[in-house]
Structures are given as C-alpha cells and as structure tokens.
Structure 1
Amino acid sequence: MTDRLSIALAQANPSIGSLAANAVRIRAARNEAAARGADVVVCPAGALSGAPLLDLLRVPAFLDAVEATVGALAAETADGGPALLIGAPWRDGAKHHNAALLLDDGRIAAIRFQAEMIFDTVGSTGEDRFDPGPMPGPINVRGVRVGLLIGSDLAVADVAETLAESGAELLVAMLASPFAPGRMDGRVQAAVARVVEVGLPLVAVNAVGGQDEQVFDGGSFALAEGGRLVAQAPLFAEHLLLTRWTRDTDESGNESWDSSEAEMIAPVEGAEALYGALMLGLHDAVSKGHAPGVVVGLTGGLDSALVAALAVDALGADRVLAVRAPLPGGETAALADALGDAAEIVELLGCRLDNVALGPVLKAADSLLAPAFAGRDTADAADRLHTRLRAATLAALAERMGALLLATADRTDRVLGLAVDESGCGYAILADVPKSMVLDLARWRNAHQPAGSRGPAGRVVPERVLDRRLKAATPAGLPPADALDDLLAGLFDGALSPADLAARGHSAETIGLVWRMVLDAEPARRRAPPGPRISHRPGGRERRFPVACGPVDLA
C-alpha cells in the first residue's frame, strides 16, 4: 500500500489545436516534476488540445491527431518517471467527450469523461459541444484510488459523492475555467463544499492563458480534509505547483490523506486582477496569432492611452507602434492638446510614434462625394466617413506590418454604438471594460507596476488626460459615465424592468433613449472584433438582439 504521493499541478497555457506545441509543454512540465520528485503530473482540462475547441471537436482528422499524440505521450511514460493525467477531447463511438487520460507505464492506463455539463459555472469553459459521460469511478494512480472531477463536475455534489462511495481516497479536479471577478473564490468555495461533503482532500489544476474572448486565470490549489487550503498557485502565469501527501491513521484506525502547507501565492484582486487579465488576453492574442506586434491609434484620450499602456505592459515597448492620425476640424487648441498628450503618452511608455497626415485623403474623399452631397446637410455623414477612413488607414498600416490593430473603444461606447468604426481592427482590449472602469484601471496603473509587466514603472497616463475624462460631457440626453454604466448593467446585462431601473434613479426618458441606442447598435456590435471577457455576465456571453426590428416596447 502506498503511503506517500507527490502530485504536481501543471498550470499550463495551451494553444488551441497546436498538439505538438502543447505536448512539448506537457513534456517540459513532466521533466521538471520528475526533477522535483513528483509521482504524477496533473494537467488542466483540454491541456493537450486547448479550449474551447468549438467545431474543431467535429473534425475527424483533428481527433485522429489527438489520439496519435496521446499514444506518443503514453509511450514516453515507460521511462519510469511520473505518471501523466492530461485533458483532451476523446471519441467514444459517435460521442465526443471532455476526457481525462491517465498515462503511465507506457500506456493509457485509464480514461474518464466529464459527467456534468453545466455551463457558466466555476469549472465550465462554456463549451457546449461535448457529450456528457457516465458517472465515473476512481482510477488507480500509483496505488492510490483517485477520483477525477472534470470541468463543471466540480460544481455539483453528485460526481464527488459517487467517487467517494466507490472508494476514492483523494479528489483531483481538472479545470479550464475562465476569469471573472470573484470566480477564483467561487472555485475554491465549490471545492471546499466537495471536501466537506465527502470528507476527502482535493487538488485542482486550472488552465491559464488567453484564447479569443476567454482568459483562463490559473490559480490552481490544494485542500486538505476539512477544506484547509494547503497550496496555491499564482493567477495569470504558468506554474508547476508541487504538493506532497501522506496517508495517516488515527487512533480509531481510520485512514486519511494530509499535506503540510506547500507553496502559497495569494491571488491578486480588484483592479490588479482585471489589469492582469487584460494583459494576458492581449499577450496571447498576439503571440498565439503569430503577429510581430500591435498598432495603436493614439487620440490623446484616455481609452487609447490605456490601450497603449496595456500593450506595452503585455508585449514590451519594441512591439508597440503608436500612430497619431488626427482628424481635422474642431477647436485648434483642443487638437493641439490632444496631439501633445499623445506625444507625452509615447514618451512615458517608450514606444515608437508615427504620424499620418489624413488631410489630403479626407479632402479627396470630400471632393469626390461633393456632387452627391450637394444641397444636403451632410455634416454627420462626413464625420462618419472621415472616421472610417482613419480606421481604414490604420488597418492598412497594421496589415502592411503584419501587426494586430487594436481597437480603442470601451464597452460602454460599443454597446451604445458610439464607438468609431472597428471593422479593420483585430482585437478590442477594452471590449468588456465599461467607461467608468477605464478611469479606475488607468489610475491603478499610474500607481502600480503589474506583475509580469514589460513596461515602465510609474506614471504612464498623463494627469491631464485623466482630468479631461473627468470633465468630459456625455452625449446629449445621456447621464454621466457611472450612472450610464449602471443603467447598461441593468438593462443590457441584468434584463431589469423599467420599474427596477427607475428605482435605481434612472428616468423613463433616459431608459427609453438608451434602450433604443442599444437596439440600433446591434449591427455594429456584430461586426466588432473580439476582446477578452473580464466580467461575469449571465449566460457567459454577450447579449444579441435582432438586427432589423421596430420599436421594442418595455413593459
């Protein structure tokens, strides 16, 4: 009987579909774990394939490659080193499962499937294409009966109870759970509930890394019996967390597993966590897309300043090109201030600045369309045309460099249709950041250097840019930023009734105006580029409305 077991939690950042590269990561983690004396290495759900797979799960040739790669990894475990527990998609007849595979002694020693498909929970990726598997039994890992919880199996009692009743001695949760405020605590609390319910210790490994709209935040951990936290990995970074377990026997002859406190890295919270999630999402959008860097159109405003700071922090100043391409018109003094602020932002960040003169292009476009616009009030149409030409110019510049063009609009403006045209952008780093939060994040960054930052310490956003945002007026009929974000949170995300919104201080006129703007902006939102999700929204995804609809009444 084994009385000791060393479990290494390999908090990995896989790339979707890159089986060879992900296998290299798994091998590296196993080598490090072997050097530290681990008996088994546990990888996150989907560690071999990446997640979410979407319709890759229905491509037979890809699943064939998964099976071949698993076979090669299994063969390598004949070397006497640690066993491997990896997550991968797996076929079982006509069904497709989210699987955990135990590789040991040169073979696939056991396979288990996720049983509970509950979306928008502490363990779920939001992947809805897997088939649920049967209730699992324990597997034998180096003489220890281990119960596996895959994905949202952690969120419910049934799977853990079945495993305990079947003789499991220790629970292992393999997760690919994305970031949202409070979700790290939610995962730990769900795990504590399982430990208390069944009286077994639990280790949980979570994926880390950005993929499309999701940012997996890591934060792997271990709980001893009673729910005592004995190990904790960091958020937003790859990490190998080693836990050592010993079988104890009490005076009554009852056996249990315990672990002395191992590495404990407290998770970041609040604005620091939000900023870290945005940095990681942006870094991986660039690196996994194999782009050499990014282009940011600087306006001198707060949104573009924060985007530039995030880009430099995530990638380094040498991979960020800031571009000033001001639109003519408006007050000369205001334009001069904006240009000066953009220059100061670049100086603070240390990135390169290019200037693009749009005047000749805009003048030519106006001249071309002058006959069609004759006798009409075309000021708004001309402004929109100029904005789109600016966006197209930035997109062409980024494409010529092979770089990723970053959108600079925040979520408030996107939801209301107030954002500039983003059709040429590749990634919208502020897509889920409300206007009021932009100010909070910029203030936090001026006072702190984020963990893993490649940017400078100290202030990165000029104070007058912050002051200008504080004094900025919202469009006619709309409330200030804080009140507007509260209204959108209730109307767009929470689906509150007008009576509920009125009780929060919003007038009927404002509610009607904002509701109409939300509906009218649906086509623009569908064309908008993806960005990292950092909020916990009902259903786990952005709401969608009909593109063509008449006035939609609210009761």
Structure 2
Amino acid sequence: MKLVLAQLNYTVGDIEGNLEKILDAYKTISEQDALLICSELALTGYYPQDLVLKESLLVRQSNALKKLMDETEGKRCGIVIGYIEKNNQVTGKGLFNALALLSNGKQVFQYHKRLLPTYNIFDEARHFQPGSNVNVFNYKGVQLGFLICEDAWAKTKNFKYSDDPVNGFKQHELDLVISINASPNNLGKMQERIDVINRVATQTQSPVVYINQIGGNDELVFDGASFAVNKIGKLVCQMKPFEEQIYHLELENLDELKANAVFYNENELILGQTVLGIRDYVKKCGFSKVVIGSSGGIDSAVTLAICSKALGPENVIAITMPSKFSSEGSVNDSVTLCNNLGVKLLNASIAEEFELAVKRFEFMTGENPSTLTQENMQARIRGRILMEYSNHFGALVISTGNKSEMSVGYATLYGDMNGGINPLGDLYKMEVYALARFINEKSGREIIPDVIIQKEPSAELSEGQVDSDSLPEYPLLDAILKLYIEGDLLDVDESEKCHLLIEKYQVLNDDVERIHRMVDKAEFKRRQAPPIIRVQKRSFGMGRWLPVAAKY
C-alpha cells in the first residue's frame, strides 16, 4: 500500500479553501492503491476555538466531509482526515475531536481523540469530550492503529495521564500506526516529537507515520516536519519544515529506508518560524503590505528584515521618526538598512509636534510634564503616525518589542506597542542580536549594518538615555527572565546555563526578586499588546495566563 502524507497549510474557518487543498492532493493519486493521510482538524484548521460553537461552521464542515467521501466513490485510494464530530450522547461535551477513514464513498471508520491537552497553549477540553472508542481498524487487509496528536504523549516527562491510548494496541499485531497532528512548533519540539513517536513504534513493534500541518494561525506556527519511523523507531523519512509538501511512501518498503533527522539550528528555526508566522498572519487577515517604525536600533532592524523576507521588500514600508533626542545614527542607520533591504523609507520628524505637546500639557495642568511623561509622549506620537499611515494606505502596523522588554514592561502602551502582530515578542534580547548576525551570515552580506548590532541599546527618549539606566545588562536579564517564565519547562542544560550566568554577575536575591516583580506588574500591558509569534516553550498570551487585579 502506498502512503501519501499531505503536509498542508490550512486556514482556520476556511473549510471550502481547506477542502480544495485536500482534493487537489487526492486527485493526483485517486486511481492508486493508496491512503492519503491528512492532519488533525484539517477541514476546520487548528485551533477553531469558539468558532466550533457556530452551527454554520459544523454544517459547512459536514458538507465538505461528504464531498470528500463522494470523491472516493469507485476509487482505490482512501483518505484519513481529522474533523469535528457531534457527540450525540446525553452527557459530556457536545463535540469530539475526531478522525475518519473514507473509502469508496463511505466513512468506514472513525476514532475520537482520547487525551485532550489543557496546558500551555491548549484548551481542547473547553469544547471536546474525550473519546473511548477503539483505535484499531483493518483496512484492505492492513491492520492500522490510530492516534490523534496528544494520544501519543501519555507518558512524557511533563504530562501524566491515567489513560494511554497506545496501550490499546497491545492486543493487536499492527502493520502501521497513523498519528495525525496539529502540533505547533517551539524550540526543541522537533526532537521531542521524534522521541515520543519512537516510544510508540518500539512499544507496538510497528512503523509509525506522523503527519503534521504547516502554517501560521495567529500566535501559533505549525512547522510540519512530518516523518515516519520503522518498527524499531528508526527515522525513515522526514518532510521539509515550514513548507507544504506531498510525500509518497510504500508501506512494504519502510524497513529498507533510512533518513537523518532535519533539525534546524536555533537561529534557523527562529527565522523560519517568524517568517512563516508573519507571512500567514498578514495574508490570512487580508493584508498585503505592512508598515514598521524604524528607529535605527536592533529590534526594528530585525523586524524589517523578517518582514522583507516574508512579504517581499516591495510590500514593506519603514518610517523613521526622529526627535530632538535622536542620534544622527538613528536616521542614517535606518537609511543604510532600508537600502540594503530594498525597503522604502519615509521620514516624519516628531520634534515640532513633541514640543507642542509639552506646551499643551503645561497650559492644561500648569505643570511641566515629568521625564517619563515626555518619553511616553514621543512614543505615542510615533505610534499615532504609524496608525495614520495604516488607516490611509491599508498597511498593517508591525510591532517590534522583544520578550525581554515586554516581560518587564519596558514599553509604552499606545506607543511602541502599537501593531497588529509582533514577530519578536517571544525572543529574548540576546536572541534578537544572534538572529541579526545569522541573517547577515545566511545572506552572505551585511544586510543589517554592523553599527546597528554594535550600538548600545537605547530608546533615545531623553538626553543620553540608554536601556541600562533602567534594566540590568541584557545577558543577565534574559537569564533571570527565562528561569522565571519558563523554568519548569527548561531542560537541565538550559537551566544550568541560566544559573551560571546569574552567578557570574554575582546578583543578589533582592535584585532577582525586583525583576520578578517588574514582570508581574507588567501583565496589564501585555494584555493590551498585539499577538506575538510563538517561539519559546512558554510564550506570553495563549501560553501564560495570569490575573491583573491580584496580589502575588
């Protein structure tokens, strides 16, 4: 039997568009003795959230499923696909996260996901009832076992379930296990998946195919990287990360194949993740162009480079907005950067408007605005200029804040936090520097000017201001933040590296606690920030929910 793995980019809610992608893949193999394998919730996209409560969505999905079923009539090729099924039982949630096997015009098998993740970015138990039906089916003489994503993760180090769907295979001699997934990527996830599926293969003594989707859906980026292992857990194929791909395998030949895992280094993964995340967010939200404030600093420079790669430089507009506190380099470096990228750069000085704002405040209150107020005035003038450009030309504003600064609230609401999406919001400051160097290295030339990479970080909102006036040095700050935000998810080496760095700086516990309090107090800002492209094991937004009006 031929196995055809469909690693596709689905849009949440676009059932007709998603169906078309699946049909296009199917029509090329429909006359073959094959099985087309699609990913989890392929018709609705993952994750549809409260869209599942719309009856119209379920009706449209039902129509799409019937079209797929009809397409298989009289054909030799079947389809495995993830979808949402209604729960007709009196008790429990109203829906199942389901898998169907379609063959010769019928749905010949269905399975309901048994393990529903409710941690980190996942909340499937909000909508779905855990399944209890059998996950084994004999299809054309081939004994198949089925898993839906989390079903394979019952015995991992971070999550312990009393149920293990893999145990359901013990009484069967399987020819193949099929795992359909919607697994968003983060640092380290590719290796984790292979380790988990290796356990399934060795425990069942059968080969396993693991199909994942690609694409950006809001904060989440699905990298694909679908793969197969043989019955002793050895990798026999792996599909390309971050690309749509159709991959053909012969079930009978799996033991003869051998492949090396394709692991991106950290910077390559981050670049692939952010580029795909931005491209899909902009496109799926109906935009074609973006606008970015260019300060001449590292964050806006890397953001401009990512967006240029994702959308093409002709679809990226940069605006430099100098004030009386801006250095000459903030404009000149922006010019050099945009010339290197081929991006159009506009200049809108805020000096006169800032002076007027100060006078207006003095007239209104009888007092001179404080230094902090004046700093925020400048940031908000710049934010307003970007939004005006967006309103007039229909370009989406891209925010440029990094995770270190967003963690401690080193950002201005309705100012530099403005935007529809933030590609750097899950990257610590030192990761932004490393990514800048990698972009230059990968390009074979100095795309991001070295002067930008080398200059001392500064918001340039007051005379002689630098970030270190308010924050610890970024290597230290990043280590403290990573332990505080993601500590329980870090592996031993990552955790030890952070602890050693803190020891090197001889930091007092009181100083660490001060940073922790800054993180806690900035939660109200993050609630009003644009979505971020998720990269780390725990990100702000979907991955970390804390109360605002609280004491802790």
* Length-normalised TM-score, structure 2: 0.88
Query: Corresponding residue for 2:440?
Result: 446
Query: Corresponding residue for 2:159?
Result: none
Query: Corresponding residue for 1:70?
Result: 65
**Partner AA of 1:188 in structure 2:** I
Judge which range, 224-233 or 366-375, deviates more: 366-375
Query: Corresponding residue for 1:113?
Result: 112
Please report how far the alpha carbon of residue 336 of structure 1 lies from its aligned counterpart in structure 2 after TM superposition. 1.3
Unaligned runs of 5+ in 2: 156-163, 459-464, 490-498
Please report how far the alpha carbon of residue 209 of structure 1 lies from its aligned counterpart in structure 2 after TM superposition. 0.7
Please report how far the alpha carbon of residue 408 of structure 1 lies from its aligned counterpart in structure 2 after TM superposition. 0.8
Query: Corresponding residue for 2:493?
Result: none
Change in 2 beyond 3 A, CA 1:58/1:427: same
Among 319, 322, 326, the alignment partner of 1:323 is 319
Query: Corresponding residue for 2:160?
Result: none
**1-structure distance, mates of 2:4, 2:260:** 14
Alignment partner of 1:414 is 2:411: no
**2-structure distance, mates of 1:503, 1:340:** 39
Please report how far the alpha carbon of residue 174 of structure 1 lies from its aligned counterpart in structure 2 after TM superposition. 0.1
Please report how far the alpha carbon of residue 111 of structure 1 lies from its aligned counterpart in structure 2 after TM superposition. 1.3
Deviations 1:186-214 (A, max 9, x none): 11111111111111111110111111111
Alignment partner of 1:26 is 2:19: no
Deviations 1:348-388 (A, max 9, x none): 10111122233343344333322234234523212212211
Query: Corresponding residue for 1:350?
Result: 342
SS in 1 for 2:5: strand
SS in 1 for 2:67: helix
Query: Corresponding residue for 1:60?
Result: 55
Please report how far the alpha carbon of residue 479 of structure 1 lies from its aligned counterpart in structure 2 after TM superposition. 2.1
| 1:471-510 correspondence runs (5 A) | 474-476=467-469, 478-494=471-487, 505-510=506-511
Among 130, 141, 144, the alignment partner of 2:142 is 144
Query: CA contact under 8 A between 1:147 and 1:164: conserved in structure 2?
Result: no
Query: Corresponding residue for 2:452?
Result: 465
**2-structure distance, mates of 1:205, 1:307:** 31
Query: Corresponding residue for 1:337?
Result: 329
**1-structure distance, mates of 2:261, 2:393:** 40
Among 244, 247, 256, the alignment partner of 1:241 is 247
SS in 1 for 2:80: strand
Among 405, 424, 428, the alignment partner of 1:434 is 428
Please report how far the alpha carbon of residue 135 of structure 1 lies from its aligned counterpart in structure 2 after TM superposition. 4.3
**2-structure distance, mates of 1:245, 1:407:** 47
**Partner AA of 1:41 in structure 2:** L
**Partner AA of 1:12 in structure 2:** L
Please report how far the alpha carbon of residue 267 of structure 1 lies from its aligned counterpart in structure 2 after TM superposition. 3.5
Among 265, 273, 278, the alignment partner of 1:277 is 273
Judge which range, 98-107 or 430-439, deviates more: 98-107
SS in 1 for 2:256: coil
Alignment partner of 1:185 is 2:230: no
**1-structure distance, mates of 2:175, 2:321:** 63
SS in 2 for 1:235: coil
* Greater than 6 Å deviation, 4+ residue runs: 262-265, 500-504
Among 40, 43, 53, the alignment partner of 2:35 is 40
* Length-normalised TM-score, structure 1: 0.88
CA RMSD of aligned residues (A): 2.6
Query: CA contact under 8 A between 1:219 and 1:267: conserved in structure 2?
Result: no
Change in 2 beyond 3 A, CA 1:348/1:486: same
**1-structure distance, mates of 2:139, 2:122:** 26
Unaligned runs of 5+ in 1: 247-256, 450-456
Deviations 1:70-110 (A, max 9, x none): 01111111151521111111112153111111111112222
Alignment partner of 1:547 is 2:548: yes
**2-structure distance, mates of 1:293, 1:377:** 37
SS in 1 for 2:72: helix
Query: Corresponding residue for 2:496?
Result: none
Query: CA contact under 8 A between 1:119 and 1:152: conserved in structure 2?
Result: no
SS in 1 for 2:398: strand
Alignment partner of 1:367 is 2:359: yes
Among 108, 127, 130, the alignment partner of 2:124 is 127
Number of residues of Structure 1 aligned to a counterpart in Structure 2: 521
**2-structure distance, mates of 1:47, 1:409:** 33
**Partner AA of 1:425 in structure 2:** G
Query: CA contact under 8 A between 2:79 and 2:101: conserved in structure 1?
Result: yes
**2-structure distance, mates of 1:166, 1:74:** 28
Change in 2 beyond 3 A, CA 1:119/1:234: farther
